[in-house]
Amino acid sequence: MYSVAAATGWEAIGFSTSLLTAGRQDVPGDIYEAAGIDGATGWTGFWGVTLPLLAPMLFFVSVLALVRGFTAFGQIHL
């Protein structure tokens, strides 16, 4: 069962990574500059700026992963 989970996860990680990278590139740099002026550091900027702006994309990737998990009958049956 662990090998099936690893193979299914490895199969989907490239698509999820490309979606999250596209979502990260969509965040404007002005917001990071404004957060830096307000005193945000690395982790504070991540938790206060990046993560909230990536929330819709994270939700979309999570839904796709859930749907893909429901359609993984082929790997498990094999």
What ranges do the domains of the chain cover?
2-77
Which of the residue ranges 29-33, 55-59, 67-71 would you say has the lowest mean pLDDT?
67-71
The pLDDT score that the predictor gives to residue 73 is: 73
The pLDDT score that the predictor gives to residue 4 is: 76
The tens digit of pLDDT for each residue in 36-63 reads: 999 988 898 889 999 999 999 999 999 9
pTM: 0.78
The pLDDT score that the predictor gives to residue 22 is: 94
Instruction: Give long-range contacts, CB 8 A cutoff, 24+ apart: 60-65.
Output: 60/19, 61/16, 61/19, 61/20, 64/15, 64/16, 64/19, 65/12, 65/16
